[in-house]
Structure formats: C-alpha cells, structure tokens
Structure 1
Amino acid sequence: MGAVSILTTTFWKLLALIGYSAIWVYVAPWHLPADAWYTWVILILGVDALFYAYHRMAHRIRLIWATHQAHHSSEYFNFSTALRQKWNNSAEILMWIPLPLIGIPPWMVFIGFSVNLVYQFFVHTERIDKLARPVEFVFNTPSHHRVHHGCDPEYLDRNYAGILIVWDRMFGTFQPETHRPTYGLTTPVGTYSIWKLQTREYGAIVRDWRRASSSRDKLGYVFGPPGWAPSGTREADQEVDRAVAVHGHEAQ
C-alpha cells in the first residue's frame, strides 16, 4: 500500500506544484523571503495548523474519510501503520493553498509538509510510553497518537495533531491515553486486499447515495460524518448511541 501511495502522491504533488506556483506568482500579494528565519517559523506552524484542520475534516466528512480510512484500518500500531497511506491526496493538497497565497515559496511548502510527515512517522509506535509532562503538553507523542488510532468510544475523533498537540487542546479534541487502545476501524474491514481497503468506502457511499430518498439524504451520505444516516433509521439510532457513548464519557 505504501509503494502505490508513493506513486499516486507524486502525481498529486506535481499537480499541486503547478497550482501553488501559479498562486505564488500571480495571486500572492507579497513574497516571503526563503532565507528569513520567520518564514520558516510561519511555514512549520502553518503546515501544522492546516494539517490539524484537514485531519479533522477527514474524520468528520465522509467523502474525505473515504480517502483516509485505509490508514486507520490496521489493527496493529507500529511504523508499518504509518505507511498505510491514501491514494487520493486531492483534499489534502487543497488545504495547503493558504501557504503560497501568503507568499511562502511552493518548494518550501513541500519541505514543510515533509518535515510534518516524517515527525508523524515516529509517533506510530507502542514502544515509547508517556514522555515528560512538558513534552506531552506541547507535542504530539506516541501516547497521544495511539489514542487517535483507537476505536474505543472515548478515543474516537480525538488527537488530530501532526506535530503540536496544542491544536487539540485549543479546539476541544484532546484526549489523554488512559488505557491502551483497541486499534482499527469500528467495523473491521475483514480483507487484506489493498484495492478493497482503498475503495471500499467509496463503494459504500455510492450505494447509500443511490438508495437515499431525498436530495438532503444524498448530501448527508456524502458530506455528513462517517456513520451518518437519516433520522428514524436503524443506522441513525446507532450513530446516536455512538455519540452518547463518546460525549457521555466526556461528561464523567
């Protein structure tokens, strides 16, 4: 899966480079100097903030979740899990548009994204327990990211951070690790087929869209959160139960 994602990512990044270059040359009101320290600070913080926003959307909008769920399909948590990457990077490259728009050179955008991605690779491990409290407070750590990959009710949709966990603390999505998670999706995929892992959710979206009885329901199945269903259906009742389990745990 990782080898194929390298090929598809290369394609999407070439498209992004063309688009970012056009934005930087023709639209950006100013150009930030690549040799200035503050440009690099803006870059790293900007990439990380935009990654948080994209990652949160990827868990709350089903169409984007369809690209991301393969990464969460592993029932193990190690460096190989980090290599389970999506084949469709279209939503992600759109999220970086603000960076060339504020004048960051396109080549720097890719360096910033690469730094973020390499950092995230090393938090996919069970071999490191919790680190010193100041580190755990500021940075995304293996402990925080284990929570993100858990399918336990109290761990769902938590800890979206790339490098800095402060985004989750600021926006109410932080959850500390209180026990080792159960990894994987809430509904096991039951297949080792790379093709099925990457496409199964798209197929489910199409099936739900076709059987929807109204335009509102069609939009809900595509752009609603994973598990969304029209009110009054069995699927909707299950989603309510899930929400109660998550938010009920928060209130304890």
Structure 2
Amino acid sequence: MRIGRATLILNSLIAINVYRDTTRHTAIPQSVICFAVHALTGFLSALPAELRDPVLFAIPFFLLLLTLEWTAARKLAKFDAAAGTGDPADSRPASGAYLARDSMTSISMGLVSIATTAAWKTLALFGYAALYAYVAPWHLSASKWYTWVVALLGVDLLYYAYHRAAHRVRLIWATHQAHHSSQYYNLATALRQKWNNSGEILMWVPLPLLGLPPWMVFFSWSLNLIYQFWVHTERIGKLPRWFEYVFNTPSHHRVHHGMDKVYLDRNYGGIFILWDRIFGSFQEELFRPHYGLTKQVDTFNIWKLQTYEYVAIARDWRSASRLRDRLGYVFGPPGWAPGGADRNGKVAPVASTR
C-alpha cells in the first residue's frame, strides 16, 4: 500500500501547527521540529511498503504528548516554587521534570534511531523472508485472528527475553544502557533509543520460523514500541489493580528505570507485565526511584552516550591478563569483576555504567 502525498502533508501540518503555539513554552526550536517532520516524511516515502513503520506515524502524537507534559512540568514547577513545597534535601530532579538539554539529547537519539532501525530492519527482512519462505514448516495467515495473537504475544515474550538478557549480559547492555542514561523520567526519555538493534533482530528469528510473515513481525514490534511510549512518565500514578496485574504501566516501568538496589533488573515486560510475574522478575513500586545509571555518564553527547560502554569493555579487555577474565568482562553481568560476582550486592560495579 502506497502512502499518499496528502497523508504526508497532513502529518506535517499537524506537527508544525501544534508545536508552533507551544514552542515558546517548551524551548523546542521550530527548526528542530520542522527538520524532524521532513526527515520522517522522507523516510516514509523511501522505505519499502513492508517497512513503513507505524511508529513513524505515531511520532507526531509522541511529540504532542511530550510537549503537553513538558509544559505542565514548567507550570507545576512554578507553582511548587511559589508554594514552597518540595524537599530541599532531595537533589534529584523534581517528579516529572524536564531539562531542555537532556530532552533534546533524547529526541536527537530517537531521530537517529529511526534511520538505524530502518537499516537493521532492511537487513533482517532478507533473513526473515528466507526463513519464512524456505524453512518454516507452515505459513500462518494474516487474515486469521489467532495469527495476530501469536504475533503480539510472541513479540512481547521474546522482547522480555531480550530485555532481560540486555541487563544481564554486558555486551548487550552496552547497547541498551543509552536508554537508561537519563536521570530524568519523562516522555522524552522514551525517545532515548539505542542505535544497535542487532540483538532484537536475532531474538525474533523464531517468529518467521513459526510461519509468521516478516511484515507482521515488524508491525507487532512497532505496536509494542508505541505502547511503551506512554509508560515513561511520572504524571500517572497507579492504575486499577486488574490493569496493573496484567499490563506494563508507568508505575512498573518507573521501577525498571530505577537505579536503587531493590529496583535493579526488574520489570522487563514490554506490553505485558505477566512475564515478570511468571519468571520472577517483578517488583512493585515502593517509593519514587532514583533514575539513571549506577555510575552516571555526565554528558549530553549522543555519540558518547551510545558508545561509552563499548569503550569501557574494550578498556577492560585490554587490562585483563587471562582469557576467562576477558570473557567475563564481555559476557558477564554489568559490573562483573575477576574473583567477584555480579552487581546485585556481591561486588561493587567496577567497569560498568549500570
């Protein structure tokens, strides 16, 4: 299905007109917004139909919600200052706060990830198509409702597995840590995406082998990411118990982004939190988390944020004299050290940013 010029123009008008009125409140330059819209429409028209990602259509709405939350944060900060509320002993950013440089860093990383993700998906398409056409023992019909159930649940379960591995294997963590590098927790943080999707690409290989069409795998992956956007906020408290029990929520995902010891390596689910309950990685939100990395990377340079841990791994590899120690630095948990264990209270994080 081809995307009409009218659709592209409509997306552009929505983004430009909405943000024109709110730019002065959010400190987001109009030039950045216009550049983002033009870049997105260009990618849409250039990509094959199978790779025209629903996430791209959702981005104008992401930015709209982000702008509203940012504006609300500024208004509430002024109200709190006037009322004299807040704990002066707490050095953390206020709940739901925004820092312009931090948010622009997140948005910039997200924009680059659009291009890198498209490149990874293009590579994956060839492999998935070959597996689907020549190896899969059967082909599931996209017109059947149960195929969509298999696709959505399969993507989310494998995302859980990948996400858990990303927190327990340092080489994969080196890619994922960029998403956790902000000390702020807001909708902009949701856009702070990694540029290396190779782990996810490999993790979803079982899906075309099960007979799922490759385009359906990509589409379900995109729906998963769209769902995860809204859980990156401190403006939403706990939701009804039945919803909190089944689905990933802002409360559950705040725990995941916490660097507090009780919160480390918890709540990996994308859409469903049931995986965490089943596999023993669930943690209830007990108090407001401290966000970021256990060893903060104090920079807004997007290249350094993406590559910092790779550089640290290379440095530790060179410093180790034994092969098993080198392998431990690469494939052990973040914070692993020779003669020690992982970072969960048994040994202090030495080389890792986690």
Query: Which residue number in structure 2 is paired with residue 33 of structure 1?
Result: 141
For residue 215 of structure 2, the aligned residue among 88, 107, 120 is 107
**C-alpha separation in 1, matches of 2:161 and 2:228:** 16
Query: Which residue number in structure 1 is paired with residue 120 of structure 2?
Result: 12
Q: Is the 8 A contact 2:336 2:347 kept in 1?
A: no
Alpha-carbon shift at residue 123 of structure 1 (Å) = 0.6
For residue 49 of structure 1, the aligned residue among 146, 149, 157 is 157
Gaps of 5+ in 1: 246-252
Matches of residues 50-199 of structure 1 in structure 2 within 5 Å? 50-199=158-307
Cα deviations by residue, 1:43-87 (Å, 9 ceiling, x for unpaired): 010000000000000000000000000000000111110111111
Question: Is 1:242 matched with 2:345?
Answer: yes
Query: Which residue number in structure 2 is paired with residue 221 of structure 1?
Result: 329
Counting aligned pairs with the same residue, the percent is 70
- Partner SS, residue 335 of structure 2: coil
Q: Is the 8 A contact 2:167 2:173 kept in 1?
A: yes
- Partner SS, residue 242 of structure 1: coil
Alpha-carbon shift at residue 242 of structure 1 (Å) = 2.2
**C-alpha separation in 2, matches of 1:240 and 1:58:** 14
Alpha-carbon shift at residue 211 of structure 1 (Å) = 1.0
- Partner SS, residue 154 of structure 1: helix
- Partner SS, residue 46 of structure 1: helix
- Normalised TM-score (structure 1): 0.93
- Partner SS, residue 317 of structure 2: helix
Alpha-carbon shift at residue 213 of structure 1 (Å) = 1.4
**C-alpha separation in 2, matches of 1:105 and 1:241:** 40
- Partner SS, residue 225 of structure 2: helix
Counting matched residue pairs gives 240
**Using CA pairs below 8 Å that are at least 6 residues apart, which structure has the higher relative contact order?**
1
Deviating above 2 A after TM superposition, structure 1's stretches of 4 or more consecutive aligned residues are: 239-245
TM-align CA RMSD: 1.3
**C-alpha separation in 2, matches of 1:171 and 1:188:** 29
- Partner SS, residue 292 of structure 2: coil
Letter matched to residue 136 of structure 2: A
Letter matched to residue 216 of structure 1: R
Query: Which residue number in structure 1 is paired with residue 111 of structure 2?
Result: 3
Residues 26/134 of structure 1: CA separation in 2 closer, same or farther (3 Å cut): same
Letter matched to residue 184 of structure 2: Y
- Partner SS, residue 345 of structure 2: helix
- Normalised TM-score (structure 2): 0.66
Cα deviations by residue, 1:70-108 (Å, 9 ceiling, x for unpaired): 000000111110111111111111011010000000000
Alpha-carbon shift at residue 244 of structure 1 (Å) = 8.3
Alpha-carbon shift at residue 119 of structure 1 (Å) = 0.3
Alpha-carbon shift at residue 240 of structure 1 (Å) = 6.0
**C-alpha separation in 2, matches of 1:58 and 1:240:** 14
**C-alpha separation in 1, matches of 2:304 and 2:137:** 44
Structure showing greater radius of gyration is 2
Question: Is 1:209 matched with 2:297?
Answer: no
Cα deviations by residue, 1:195-230 (Å, 9 ceiling, x for unpaired): 100001000000101111111111100000000010
